[in-house]
Structures are given as C-alpha cells and as structure tokens.
Amino acid sequence: MSTQPPAFSTVQGKLNYLGDQVAAPFLELREKFEGPVNNHALEPHTVAILDLSASTAEQRKTAGYTVEQAGFEILDGWGDESTTAPAWANQKWDEPGWIEQEYYADVDALLKKHLGATSTFIFDHTVRKRRTEADEHLPDTPSTRTPVSTVHSDQTQWAGENRVLKHLGQDVLDRVKSGKVRAQLINVWRPLRGTALDMPLAFSDSRTVQPNDWVVNELRYETWNGQTYLIHFNEGHAWYYYRGLPTDKAILLKCYDSTSNVRTPHTAFKDPTVPSDAEPRWSIEVRAIVLTEP
C-alpha cells in the first residue's frame, strides 16, 4: 500500500541534517565551560515535503500516518472542546499559569481520548516564537525560544527510560522494562495564534528512517548528561507538513516507545510558498510520558 497520496501538493524545503563526518555529536550546556559549544556540522538538503492540509483523517489513517506506525499524527480539536476552545480563542495561553493549570489538563484528556492512555505525566512545555529581524538579538528564554531548524528527535531509548525514572520512579520503570506497562514519550504541538504558515513543522515517517540514520547527540549539563537524536541524510526519508495548521488541530510526535523503535524526526523549515510578510509563527509543544496498561 502506498503511503503517499499522489494528488496532494508538495513543496521543496531545505532541511538541516547532521553531516556524515560527525559520528559522536554533542551540545555543551554547562555555563562556565570553555571550549566549543557543539561539534555539529549541519548539511542542508532540499527535499520534497508533502502537504497534508487537504487530507482527511480517514485518508491519513489508511496511509498509516499515526503515532503507532509513522510516529506522528494530526488530531482535530481538543481534549475538552467546550472549555479549552473558547479559552484558546481568548488567548488565555498568554496569562501566567494558564498553560500549566488548564492546558496541561486538556492535553491529558486529549492523549487519553486518542491513544487510550491509562495515565499521563506532563514534564514540561516549550513556547516557540519566530522573531522578527528587530528582535533577533534577544536571548532564548523558556517562554520565547525560537523554532529549531535542525532535523532531530527529542529522546533516545536511554533518555526515554531516564525520563520515566526521573519523573515516575524506579518501580514504574521496572514495570515498563518488564512489559507490564507501556510507556511512550509524546510531544503535542499546536499553534498559539492563528494558523502556522510561517516556519511550519515538518515531520518524517518513521518507517522510512533507517537504523544507521539515527545519531545519538549528547547533552552536557552541569550535573548530568542527556541525549537526543540527530539524523544523517537519507534520500529515502519521506517528509510531511500541514500548511497553515490552525489552532484547533494538534500534531502528535512520538519520541520514545518502550515497545517499538517508532519515533519521528522533525524540524522547522521555511516554506517557500508562504508570503514574506506572514505573521511570525508562535507555537507550543507539550511533552508527556504516556502510560498504558494492558
């Protein structure tokens, strides 16, 4: 069965992959460290990116564009439509504490409804705002980070297990590793305002990414180390995006699964068909541990 509906349009986008000459990438995050911040040698590759905005939920399901098969999924609506939709329209997300106190609960309901989760644990979120030229000098902060324009995935298998251990404890991790509980790490990505035309999110079908394409990227902090994945280019990668994603749709991105190797590389990219004066993209990405018991 073909996984690419041929009638849908594509754009040519430039995506930044890790260069093949880098076998052990790292990112230095210690404040007082003197030396190179990273050894990333990125290589831009122009690839065809299929626009799924004309697709229906049934078409996407038939093609296997789900977190179970491809590692990504586009969802309609909210966890609690009656409460969250009007609050979002009124930009409640801009009020201090609203995201943690209200939107986290909506994400919990959304994941339970669509993935059949027994429980979730939301461990953080990131707001990303593409800056205008006048604001490019400003530093990244937790509430104003810029979109990431590097092909990556947020967790390795090791990092996923360590997230479970850190937030839920050894007993839960033991149950996960023994197969008594399934754990997934899912990012829930949604535009904050309007539609996400500027710097949209591209995501790749996990089924088209080969084992040797994944490269562990070490994150070096003051008291601990973490891991993400960077990706080597492979012309077999199949890429997708949703042009003009509205705020009442969300994209699920799988970064870890205790029962499979399904995970999706993703990155922001510049859509060449978008007008230069499009409103800068603002988005939110909530990261959750999703537990499912048999």
pLDDT tens-digit readout, 94-149: 999 999 999 999 999 999 999 999 999 999 999 988 755 555 545 555 555 788 89
Q: Which pLDDT value is given to residue 141?
A: 55
Q: Is 35 left (phi over 0), alpha (psi -120 to 50) or beta?
A: left
- Would you say residue 247 has pLDDT above 50? yes
- Would you say residue 15 has pLDDT above 50? yes
Local confidence band at 31 (pLDDT 50, 70, 90 cut-offs)? confident
- Would you say residue 220 has pLDDT above 80? yes
Mutual angle of helices 170-177 and 157-168, in 10-degree steps = 140
User: Hey, what domains does the chain have and what are their CATH numbers?
Assistant: 10-292 (2.60.120)
Q: Is residue 170 classed exposed, middle or buried when 0-12, 13-18 and 19+ CB atoms within 10 A define those classes?
A: exposed
Q: Which pLDDT value is given to residue 287?
A: 98
Whether 38 contacts 25, CB under 8 Å: yes
Closest CA to 190 of 284, 123, 279, 254: 284
